[in-house]
Amino acid sequence: MCKSQSKTSHTPHHIKNRFDFAKETLSKGYLPELCLFDDEKTVRGRGPEKYYRSLREKDTPRPESQSHVHPIKLNIWGCVGVGFKSNLFITEENINGRIHTDTLINGLSNAQMDPPLDTRVLLSDNAGWHKNKTELPLYSDLNPIEHVWAMLTSKLYAISTVYDKVESLRKAIVKCWNSIPQQSIDNIVLSYGDRVLECFSREGKMTKY
């Protein structure tokens, strides 16, 4: 799964990999409007501390919940592109290589999208079990779907910061995913070219994204 990395975590090796990726991507001339970005994310029944700070007074304690002892969580997968937002795959199991390839990626072949799938380039982060030939470095600033995940979780924890039941969490995730405007997704995906170009111009260092 693509994870956010701080600037201080960028070793010379990371920076070189990012620069090499940007250079190769620019040479291939990928058009952002033809790119699809897929990723997995773990969504927990309790929102991160920042949501409590933003929604409550700092001296107000978190509400007590059974999930404090056994926090529930769901693993989700989605794919986005210009004019396209997949249905979410939601499971309590870990999403492994078999599920990702057989169930999720192959399932895209039945998805309706314009431009069609056979004209698109599917980009995944470089999780070890991803089978796609085209991979993104493991940094959120180069993967637009990370910003879509941020929109999803922001909506999710604005509804409630605690979900005690798996089914209530599942329903809320689907509701929030469906409420994300396609135009917002399009704008994020179309920024991919600028992300890669800035990464290249900064010789692999972190971008503003």
Q: What is the CATH number of the domain that holds 174?
A: 3.30.420.10
Confidence band of 10 (pLDDT split at 50, 70, 90): confident
In a domain, 37, yes or no: yes
| Whole-number Å distance between alpha carbons of 147 and 145 | 5
Domain ranges, residue 159: 33-193
Q: Is the CB of residue 126 less than 8 Å from the CB of residue 138? A: yes
Instruction: Please state the pTM of the whole predicted model.
Output: 0.80
- Whether 25 shows a pLDDT value over 70: the answer reads yes
205 located within any domain: no
Q: With 70 as the cut, is the pLDDT of residue 38 above it?
A: yes
Q: Has residue 81 been placed in a domain?
A: yes
Q: Are 45 and 73 in contact (CB under 8 A)?
A: yes
pLDDT score at 17: 87
In a domain, 7, yes or no: no
104 lies in a domain? yes
Least confident of 43-52, 164-173, 176-185: 43-52
Stretch among 56-70, 113-127, 129-143 having the lowest mean pLDDT: 56-70
The percentage of the chain sitting over the pLDDT mark of 70, rounded to a whole number, equals 78
Given a cut of 80, whether residue 93 has pLDDT beyond it is yes
107 has a pLDDT exceeding 80:
no
| pLDDT confidence bin for 198, thresholds 50/70/90 | very high
174, exposed or middle or buried, with CB in 10 Å at 0-12, 13-18, 19+?
middle
Mean pLDDT (whole number) for 34-45: 92
Q: In the prediction, which pLDDT does 192 show?
A: 93
Looking at the domain assignment, is residue 147 inside a domain? yes
Judge whether 166 lies within some domain: yes
The pLDDT score that the predictor gives to residue 21 is 87
pLDDT at 127: 54
Helices (H), 60-165: 97-98, 145-159
How many domains is the chain built from? 1
Token pair for residue 65?
């919940």
Task: Classify residue 129: in a domain, yes or no.
Answer: yes
pLDDT of residue 121: 87
